Structure 1
Amino acid sequence: MCELLGMSANVPTDICFSFTGLMQRGGKTGPHCDGWGITFYDGKGYQNFKDPNPSCESRIAQLVQQYPIKSCAVISHIRQANRGSVSLVNTHPFTRELWGHYWTFAHNGQLSNYQGLETGRFVPVGDTDSEIAFCWLLNQLEQRFATRPDDDALLFSFMAECCDQLRELGVYNMLLSDGDVVANYCTNNLHWITRRAPFGEASLIDEDVTIDFQKETTPNDVVSVIATQPLTNNEQWHRMLVGEMCVFKKGEVIYHREGTPHPEPQQGNEATSSQ
Structure 2
Amino acid sequence: MCELLGMSANVPTDIRFSFAALARRGGETGPHADGWGISFYAGRGCRSFHEPEPSARSELAKLLRNYKIKSRIVIGHVRKANRGRVSLENTHPFSRELWGRRWTFAHNGQLKGIKKLPLSGFQPIGSTDSEHAFCWMMGGLQTRFRTLPRPSLLDRAVADLSAELHKLGVFNMLLSDSRTLYAHCGKRLCYLTRRAPFGTATLIDEDWQVDFSQETTERDVVTVIATQALTRDERWTDLDRGDVLTLRDGAIRLLKPGSASAAILVSPHAC
Q: Please, what TM-score do these two structures have when normalized by structure 1?
A: 0.92
Alpha-carbon contact 2:163-2:257 (below 8 Å) kept: no
Q: Which residue in 1 is equivalent to 2:77? A: 77
Deviations 1:92-131 (A, max 9, x none): 0000001110000000101111112222111100000000
Structure 1 residues 121 and 259: CA distance shift in structure 2, 3 A: closer
Matches within 5 A, 1:1-275: 1-150=1-150, 152-253=151-252, 255-259=253-257
How far apart, CA to CA, are the structure 2 residues paired with 1:154 and 1:43? 21
How far apart, CA to CA, are the structure 2 residues paired with 1:38 and 1:141? 24
Residue segments in structure 1 that go unaligned for 5+ positions in a row: 261-275
SS in 2 for 1:11: strand
How far apart, CA to CA, are the structure 2 residues paired with 1:70 and 1:118? 38
How far apart, CA to CA, are the structure 2 residues paired with 1:68 and 1:56? 18
Counterpart AA for 2:143: Q
Q: Percent identity?
A: 54
How far apart, CA to CA, are the structure 2 residues paired with 1:259 and 1:220? 32
Deviation, 1:39, is: 0.3
Alpha-carbon contact 2:124-2:135 (below 8 Å) kept: yes
Alpha-carbon contact 2:185-2:242 (below 8 Å) kept: yes
How far apart, CA to CA, are the structure 1 residues paired with 2:249 and 2:119? 30
How far apart, CA to CA, are the structure 1 residues paired with 2:156 and 2:112? 24
SS in 2 for 1:155: helix
Alpha-carbon contact 2:102-2:177 (below 8 Å) kept: yes
Alpha-carbon contact 1:192-1:226 (below 8 Å) kept: yes
Deviation, 1:259, is: 4.9
How far apart, CA to CA, are the structure 2 residues paired with 1:148 and 1:179? 13
How far apart, CA to CA, are the structure 1 residues paired with 2:32 and 2:228? 13
Deviations 1:140-187 (A, max 9, x none): 00000111112x222211211111111111100000011111100001
SS in 1 for 2:86: coil
Alpha-carbon contact 1:39-1:47 (below 8 Å) kept: yes
SS in 2 for 1:97: strand
Q: Please, what TM-score do these two structures have when normalized by structure 2?
A: 0.94
How far apart, CA to CA, are the structure 2 residues paired with 1:145 and 1:179? 18
Counterpart AA for 1:215: Q
How far apart, CA to CA, are the structure 1 residues paired with 2:71 and 2:7? 9
SS in 2 for 1:86: coil
Counterpart AA for 2:19: F
Q: Which runs of 4+ in 1 moved over 3 A?
A: none
Q: What is the RMSD of the two structures over their aligned residues, measured on CA atoms?
A: 1.0
Alpha-carbon contact 2:5-2:227 (below 8 Å) kept: yes
SS in 2 for 1:115: helix
Alpha-carbon contact 2:243-2:255 (below 8 Å) kept: yes
